[in-house]
Chain A
Amino acid sequence: MTKSEQLQAISNAVIEGELDDAVEATKAALSENIDPMDILNEGLMTGADEVGKRFERFEYFLPELMLAGRALKGAMEEVKPALLSKYAGATNQVQGKVVSATVQTDIHDIGKNIVSSMLTASGFEVTDMGVDVPLKSIIDKAEEIGADVICLSALLTTSMPFMKDLIKLLEARGIREKYIVLVGGASVNETWAKAIGSDGTAKNAADAVKLAREKVQARK
């Protein structure tokens, strides 16, 4: 296979959500000495972008996003060591670590899952803590893994105040500046996101990925 075909195979495996194929195609490309940065950008990310576009067009649904996320995560495990050895620190320049959670008392997870899957499929390292997560646990996890971004989700208007509480808790602990705090949910809008002192919100998952990328890159 030519280099272009090999990268296409990686991209296709992500688009089809085939974990084993994505891993195998990535291994094959590495064994052919294809530049790991090309594997990342022209293989994995190209596939991830296409998945995002199909989701926006209502051709792909949540399962396809989740499967693509799985495939990308598996392939990233293969490509990451090669990237690190060839481009020291490069992976940290193109992606960030994210802790995502639906805040305490709220058990809605679809919106968070979509954003988590899109972030994963876009090369972020996402620790998804699930739903109804206590604020203290979210902060502790962010500290533990050295997160760049904390993504908070709440569908319920009566759970949204806990996002504000988390920011106040970060301030009280003196670590607010360490994190980009992004908030989302059906009732969350820009005015509210600004009022509670977050770093922003997005109206859909694709914009959330863009926002996270911009914010992380602006810090580096």
Chain B
Amino acid sequence: MLNYLEILDRANDGTYLTEENWDLEKVAMTARRLVKKYKLEWNKDELITDDAQLSEAIWKAGYEMAVELGAYSRSTERIIQLSQDEIDNGIRNMPQEVVMGEGKDARTLYARHLHDERAPLFFGGSPGTPIPERIFLANVMSYMQEPLIDLATCGTLVEVDGREVRTGNPIEIVSTRRELQYMRQGLKRVGRAGMGMLAAQSSVSELGDLAAAHPDYLRKCDSHLVPVLNELKMDHRNISRAVNSLEYGMVNASLPCVIVGGLGGGPAGSAVVNVASYLVANITCLADYHILHPIHVRHVATSTREVLWVINATAQAFARHAPSIIVSDIYPKSGAGTKELLYETAANAIVNAVSGGHLEGVGAADGNAPNCSGLEARLMAEVALATHRMKMSLKDANQFVLQLLPKYEHVFTQDGNPGKPFDEVYDTVSVTPLDFWQKMYDEVKTELKEMGLQL
């Protein structure tokens, strides 16, 4: 494996290029060329493809992009070139299993294959969503207490002790540690103290992340995020997160949030960029697993047709050609207390489960407001497990998703559908859904059963 100091050397000594030229001349032009070369086309009615040749073409194009471009250091404005051998070694060395958590609550994340006999695992929480401190604990407990949830994640504390949190300010250290204190407290209170976490979500700069690398906060059996910047870029601040965990030993989760409609162009080019991002992140992020979270350039949500296609294309490309641990974020447009949130969650869960991903969510309301609860995460897990139990074919899964789309696509043409905050859909003392929210969930579940989903 490439010595990490070598990566830093390349960031310091690589070929100089302006960021604009990296974006346009390298990423955008390469994506365009590869989409043409491999004749890649997305299909708005085939969001889950069973075309093995298309999957192979996407894999080859992403691989070619990673070898050709490498990564870009925004801090030094230089290219971190990676050789084909290094990319290949990165693929070979990707962990096939990672144990997270400890004791009876430990879970083994594994590299899923297409039609894998093993069920996917579930991270419960609304990752990165701003959550007020007064409801933070009850909110994370609403996910942790769900029996189907295997691993915990959380939102971001936006204030501590009534003070606004600012990135890079000393208060970021306080907020990240406070978040972890609530997380550990929540796990104890639901009787799952050993559950593994993907946390330190309140650490936006490296400050909080470094401050949380301590057994009282993030344990070695927990994971943290090492972002890849849009697109195929790193900077010293984010590299510091990976370097810090080299000796401490936390699990590194790479996070490239490829913009669909961004530098990669449409869905086909964006899938190519996503594949390349993982191949680069194997090395530059020291990734143990990857988060799959493409973002729609206008609608943000992962439940749009374009993003569902990219999720499927990326996860399938790896499941077929280089199985790696991929955890797919669900970030619907709608918020808690709306039926649309449940339909969006179901569609996303089906796509993620059959494409070779584990699941994380639900980042309701685009992750913009504290309008999220454990109930939609319950549905996420139930739907994914149903598709797994049914051994759903890719074709059938696509049909289910096509039936769900008309139930929620109107939210993309209206001014959002944010729903209600956590404390208006849950009793925050008993941490149970309020009647109206429970009823909506029951009704949608009945509908899904009537559609043929064996819930």
Chain A positions within 8 Å of B, measured between CB atoms, are 56, 58, 61-63, 66-67, 104-110, 113-114, 130, 156-159, 161-162, 186-187, 203-204
Contacts and interface: CB of A to CB of B under 8 A. Distances in A.
B23 interface: yes
Interface in B15-41: 19-20, 23-24, 28-29, 32
Given A66-B28, A162-B166, 18 more contacts: A56-B298, A58-B261, A61-B261, A61-B269, A62-B262, A63-B23, A67-B24, A104-B168, A107-B74, A107-B237, A109-B230, A110-B262, A157-B130, A157-B156, A158-B165, A158-B166, A158-B175, A203-B415
B172 interface: yes
Contact of A161 (B166, B235, B261, B266): B166
Given A61-B297, A157-B130, A187-B368, A106 B167 contact: yes
A63 B229 contact: no
Interface of B: 19-20, 23-24, 28-29, 32, 74, 130, 156, 158, 164-168, 172, 175, 202, 204-205, 229-230, 235, 237, 259, 261-266, 269, 297-298, 300, 306, 366, 368-369, 415
Given A58-B306, A105-B168, A105-B204, A66 B24 contact: yes
B235 A107 contact: yes
Nearest to A108: B230
A114 B298 CA distance: 11
A191 to B, nearest CB: 12
Contacts of A110: 230, 259, 262, 297
A158 B28 contact: no
Contacts of B204: 105-106, 156, 158-159
Contacts of B415: 203
Contacts of A159: 166-167, 204
A187 B265 CA distance: 24
Contact of B368 (A56, A58, A61, A186): A186
Contact of A63 (B28, B130, B202, B235): B28
B263 A105 contact: no
A160 B202 CA distance: 14
B429 to A, nearest CB: 26
Contacts of A204: 298
A67 B25 CA distance: 10
Q: DSSP class of A's interface residues: helix, strand, loop or mixed?
A: loop
Contacts of B368: 186-187
Contacts of B24: 63, 66-67
Contacts of B263: 61-63
A105 B261 CA distance: 25
Nearest to B27: A63
Contacts of B19: 130
Contact of A62 (B168, B229, B259, B306): B259
Contacts of A108: 230
Contacts of B266: 58, 61
B261 A156 contact: no
Contacts of A187: 130, 368-369
A56 B412 CA distance: 13
Contacts of B366: 186
29 contacts: A61-B261, A61-B264, A62-B262, A62-B263, A63-B23, A63-B24, A63-B265, A66-B23, A66-B28, A104-B168, A105-B166, A105-B204, A106-B204, A107-B229, A108-B230, A109-B230, A158-B156, A158-B158, A158-B165, A158-B166, A158-B167, A158-B204, A159-B167, A159-B204, A161-B164, A162-B166, A186-B366, A186-B368, A204-B298
Contacts of B32: 63
Nearest to A130: B19
Given A61-B297, A110-B230, A157 B262 contact: no
Contacts of A156: 167, 204
A134 B284 CA distance: 27
A44 B346 CA distance: 46
Contacts of A56: 298
Interface centre among A104, A110, A203 (most CB of B within 10 A): A110
B298 A58 contact: yes
A105 to B, nearest CB: 4
Contacts of A162: 166
User: Which 5 A/B pairs are nearest by Cβ-Cβ distance?
Assistant: A63-B28, A105-B167, A105-B168, A157-B130, A158-B167
A204 B306 CA distance: 19
A108 B264 CA distance: 16
A219 B83 CA distance: 55
Contacts of B130: 157, 187
